[in-house]
Amino acid sequence: MSVAQWFKGISLRRPPAPAASPSEAPAPERVYLPLRQHRGDVCEPQVQPGDQVALGQIIGSSESIEAALVHATVSGKVEQIIDISDAEGHPTPTVVIQNDGKDAWAAPDADALIIDNADQVLQTKPSHLLKAIRKAGLVRAAAHGLPMQAELSPPMAPRSYLFMTGIPVVRTIDTLIVKAVDADQPIIPNQAGLAGFGAELEIGIAAVARICGAQKVIIAAAKGADLGQLPQIAAAREWSISQVNGCHYPFGLDSMIINALTGREVPTPYGEPRDVGVLIEPLATILDVGRVLRTGRPVIDRLFTVAGDVAKPQTFRARLGTPMAEMIKAAGGASGQPGKVIIGGPMMGMAHFDLNTPVTKESDGLFVISLAKVQTFSGEPCIHCGRCVQVCPVNLIPAELGKMCQYGHYEEAADKDLMHCIECGCCAYVCPAKRPMVHLLRLGKTEVLARRAE
Amino acid sequence: MSKQLLTVSTSPHMLGGMSVRSMHVEYIIALIPALATGVYYFGWPALLTVLLATGSAVVCELALTKLAKQPTKLDDLHAVVMGLLLGLILPPVVAGLEDACPWWIPVVGGALAVGLGKVLFGGIGAYPMNPVLIAWAALALSWPEHTMAFLDPMPWGTEDPEWVVSTAPLVEFKNDIGNMLSYEMANLWSGMYPSAVGAGGSWALLLGGVYLIIRRIVPWQIPLGVLAGLIGMALLATYTDSRIVEMELETFNDHWNVALFHMATGGLMITAFFLAPEPVSSPMTPWGMLLFGVGIGVMTVLVRHWGAPIDGAFYGVLIMNAATPLFDRIRPRVLGKVGSSA
Ligand code: SF4
Ligand code: SF4
């Protein structure tokens, strides 16, 4: 832990449980497959209600590079195509498939590769790897994830804002960071993935590094995590393993890990890791890439943690499209009446109103809070205690920004670097007046963007 | 579709569990050692002072917030903490003893702290200066003889304590700097000298202060700044104040003792750990807090050596409070801010 980190961020009250390897969640009776499960464009449905579909059959596709193909994750009959709210809360056209329980696989795709080991990856053309990944409909396994083909291939045009600032624009990736830590404890798909990985990890890392062209691979693992065979594998391939302080929130967030491991700062607010030559991928994504290349089949499930007030919090391999209600059931049911159901972790996740919302490629977990434990913000005034300033990982003065946003001085707040806030929520967590800090800051950001757009 | 009603709000969905009330509970816990020391040396009069000040602050908070149509929030314990702190920086009240501090001083003080210091500005979070010190300053300017009427310590258990009004070390220091040498350093640090109820027990205050810092209620920068500023300025004074130069201190240890004397006497310790870091009126940025503290420490020594008032710690806080908005402009660099990309 660097000295700066010792004073910044927050230590959560509950220490995270050690990650156990993921278990298989039962396939639901009915899957809900939104035709967009990521940041980007919506796919066109390729099936009609009444059609019989096989496991892994393409049911939604698009020409756009920013859209990932959607595959059936059970075999059975297409019931209907309706609009339901996806993990982001937007109504999205969704294919509902009734499970016939046979799990009959569709014929493999022509572009699919079957790769047994990482050496074979190095002999395969990156474009072939990329094509296989695209056909498998892979998405970066994190909230707001892009489809993998968009993530891995260079963008069409450099974005203009960086030119105006006069800093050199790095667009070639030299470092791949594999993130085996999870920022938002106790949602720990990556740590659980690390606890039960197989040959696909090595293949996945080699493939992603080959496609993006990174010379340096860093595996960021949590302090004290059980790495199994990973050190030997990494040593043979000259990958390095770094222990990061991922459990001390928010130092498991992408920009924080990049800063800790490479010393580079991802330019906020519009920058991406790519701007500083880094590609950072959650371990869950890497495992998926490895599995796709190894089996030649598309991804039908994902690592998904159910935690909070449920009987048996654990990480599952959950079929995409499983409704949240089924996932809560798989974890032994909620203890007490659920008051809040959050997709993502308790610090940065999104509260949902509909338990039919399915598991999608970009949702990494579910956090349930029982009605009795739901905490509320208050309208009390800020007491200027400065605790938020102490914890803010990007060195803002949240108290001041909060007041400005509350009273409508949005442009003034933007001058004081409002737009650089990463919405980590540390300020709201420590605030003794229980002010809804992130709410105010988001309000301010939205207003600033709306005014600038005019 | 399920019929279950779920709460929706922005993140974070988990809060740290700290409230204004729990913060003030920590303050009260941290003040217990100082209060105990005060009661040990000054007996019932000490307890009476604190009770009067606290009671007055609570009652006035209730009455004045009703009058000003502000929300009454007695359960956040802010009035209690204010009363407690005020009681601790006033001399012990002894009924019937001539020259001693009369009972109405803490009562008026509590009312002033709440009325003039807090409610007038709009309640917690809105006042620009430490209300406790505003009340103290008003009392000290109006009735200097009462706010300086300290008692000779009588450790708890003394048979039939005879309270005698006596002069504080800082007054002696003001009269003749040489008097400084007549005090035992151990007595000064434990609080065995004529002082305000809770301002004398330096060890006790240090203990409470360190507790607050460990619990992250008080940022470490402010106390550290105050102590650093005080020590630095005190050492400087030993080489420049002609009266001390005449004393011809020989070893560095002698100079250091002057700094220790400044640290242990007057209201310095309670200022460093409790009054200067008062949340509302102190700055928030790291460097701002440090400089704020240093300013108070330097100010204390300047006033004690060369100023008109007896002690400068409390005035130092008030003056630095006025500069808080300036200190808050010293910001840390924003991570990820490149060029002018806003
Ligand atoms: S201001 Fe933004 S970045 Fe800073 S602690 Fe609050 S939410 Fe996090
Ligand atoms: S933590 Fe809350 S009360 Fe304290 S300064 Fe920040 S916003 Fe104000």
Inside any domain, residue A199: yes
- Asked if residue A39 belongs to a domain, the reply is no
* Domain endpoint, select from A261, A295, A329: A295
Ligand 1 atom at minimum distance from A426 CA: 5
ipTM for this model: 0.87
pLDDT at B220: 92
Residue B1 in this model has a pLDDT that exceeds 90:
no
Closest approach of B79 to chain A, Cα-based (Å): 14
Pick from A276-290, A440-454, B155-169: least confident: B155-169
Q: Identify the residue whose C-alpha is closest to ligand 2 atom 1.
A: A431
**Residues in A 148-177 with any Cβ partner in B closer than 8 A:** 161-162, 164-167
Q: What is the arithmetic mean of pLDDT over B105-111?
A: 95
Q: What is the 3-state secondary structure (H, E, C) of chain A?
A: CCHHHHHCCECCCCCCCCCCCCEECCCCCEEEEECCCCCCCCCEECCCCCCEECECCEEEECCCCCCCCEECCCCEEEEEEEEEECCCCCEEEEEEEEECCCCCECCCCCCCCCCCCHHHHHCCCHHHHHHHHHHCCCECCCCCCCEHHHHHCCCCCCCHHHHHHCCCCEEEEEEEEEEECCCCCCCCHHHHHHHCCCHHHHHHHHHHHHHHCCCEEEEEEECCCCCCCHHHHHHHHCCEEEEECCCCECCCCHHHHHHHHHCCCCCCCCCCHHHEEEEEEEHHHHHHHHHHHHHCCCCCEEEEEEEECECCCEEEEEECCCEHHHHHHHCCCECCCEEEEEECCCCCCEEECCCCCECCCCCCEEEEEEHHHCCCCCCCCCCCCCHHHHHCCCCCCHHHHHHHHHCCCHHHHHHCCHHHCCCCCHHHHHCCCCCCHHHHHHHHHHHHHHHHHC
Average pLDDT over residues B22-30: 95
A443 in B contact zone (CB under 8 Å): no
Q: Whose CA is nearest to atom 4 of ligand 1?
A: A392
Shared-domain flag, residues A129 and A268:
yes
Ligand 2, closest atom to CA A434?
A: 2
Atom of ligand 1 nearest to the CA of A401: 1
Indicate whether residue A425 lines ligand 1 (CB < 6 A). Answer: yes
In the predicted model, is pLDDT for residue A11 greater than 80?
no
A306 lines ligand 2 (CB under 6 A): no
% of residues, chain A, pLDDT over 70: 92
From the CA of A399, the nearest ligand is 2
The tens digit of pLDDT for each residue in B217-255 reads 999 999 999 999 999 999 998 888 888 888 878 788 888
Residue A351 lies in a domain: no
Query: Do A130 and A253 sit in the same domain of this protein?
Result: yes
Cα A266 to ligand 1 centre (Å): 16
Q: Which residue has its alpha carbon closest to ligand 1 atom 6?
A: A427
Task: Choose one of A249, A382, A437 to mutate for the ligand 1 pocket test, by most ligand atoms within 8 angstroms of C-beta.
Answer: A437
Whether residue A66 is contained in a domain is answered as: no
Residue A392 within a domain = yes
Cα A34 to Cα A23: distance, rounded to the nearest angstrom: 24
Same domain, A131 and A271: yes
Report whether residue A424 contacts ligand 1, using a CB cutoff of 6 Å: yes
Q: For residue range A210-247, what is the model confidence (pLDDT) as tens digits?
A: 888 888 999 998 877 778 888 888 888 889 888 887 66
Looking at the fold, whether A268 and A123 belong to one and the same domain comes out as: yes
**Which chain A residues are Cβ-neighbours of B13 within 8 angstroms?**
340, 342, 346-347, 349, 351, 367, 369, 375
Q: Look at B6 and A13 and tell me if their CB atoms are within 8 Å.
A: no
Q: How high is the pLDDT of residue A3? A: 59
CA distances from B49 to A377, B46, B82, B164 (A): 38, 5, 13, 16
Ligand 1 center from residue A396 Cα (angstroms): 7
Choose one of A295, A317, A339: the last residue of a domain. A295
For testing contact with chain B, the best of A96, A159, A161, A385 (most B CBs within 10 A): A385
Q: Which residue's CA is the nearest one to ligand 1's atom 5?
A: A392
* CB atoms B339 and A165 under 8 Å: yes
Does residue A420 sit at the B interface (CB-CB below 8 Å)? yes
Do residues A145 and A260 both lie within one domain? yes
Each residue's pLDDT tens digit, A308-333: 888 888 899 999 999 999 999 998 88
Judge contact between A348 and A425, C-beta under 8 A: yes
Q: Which of B124, B328, B342 sits opposite A419 (nearest CB)?
A: B342
pLDDT confidence tier of residue B342, bands split at 50, 70 and 90: very low
Number of domains in chain A: 2
| Ligand 1 center–CA A402 separation, angstroms | 10
Ligand 1 pocket check for A78: Cβ under 6 Å: no
Residue A272 φ then ψ, to 5°: -130, 160
Q: Are residues A126 and A269 in the same domain?
A: yes
CATH of the domain at A232: 3.40.50
In terms of domains, do A288 and A410 share one?
no
- The alpha carbon of residue B305 is apart from the nearest alpha carbon of chain A, in Å, by 33
For residues A260 and A403, state if they share a domain: no
Question: Are A394 and A284 in the same domain?
Answer: no
Residue A195 lies in a domain: yes
Q: Which residues of A111-130 are buried (b: 16+ CB within 10 A; e: fewer)?
A: ebbebeebeebeebeeeebb
Does the CB atom of residue A438 touch ligand 1 within 6 A?
yes
Q: Which of A245, A269, A295 is the last residue of a domain?
A: A295
Same domain, A129 and A244: yes
User: Rounded to a whole number, what is the distance in Å from the CA of B272 to chain A's nearest CA?
Assistant: 16
A382 touches ligand 2 (CB under 6 Å) = yes
Per-residue pLDDT of B145-202, as tens digits, reads: 888 888 888 888 777 778 888 888 888 888 888 888 888 888 888 888 888 998 888 9
Q: Residue A444: give the domain boundaries.
A: 387-453
- Please indicate, yes or no, whether residues A242 and A133 belong to a single structural domain of this protein: yes
Q: Is the CB of A139 inside a 6 Å radius of any atom of ligand 1?
A: no
- Name the more confident of B5 and A397: A397
Q: Confidence class of residue B216 from pLDDT cuts 50, 70 and 90?
A: confident
Contacts of residue B283 in chain A, CB cutoff 8 Å? Answer: 386
Q: Do the domain assignments include residue A316?
A: no
Are residues A275 and A148 located together in one domain of the fold? yes
Q: What pLDDT was estimated at residue B339?
A: 54
pLDDT band at B340 (very low <50, low <70, confident <90, very high): very low
Q: Is A435 in the pocket of ligand 2 (CB under 6 A)?
A: yes
Q: What is the pLDDT of residues A109-152, one digit of tens each?
A: 777 788 888 888 888 888 888 888 888 889 888 888 888 888 88
Print burial letters for B101-118: b (CB count within 10 Å at least 16), e (below 16).
bbeebbbbbbbbbbbbbb
Q: Which pLDDT band holds residue A444 (cuts at 50, 70, 90)?
A: very high
pTM (2 decimals)?
0.88
Binding residues of A for [4Fe-4S] cluster: 382, 385, 388, 392, 421, 424, 427, 431
A45 within domain boundaries? no
Ligand 1 in contact with A444 (CB < 6 A)?
A: no
Q: Which residue has the higher pLDDT, A436 or B162?
A: A436
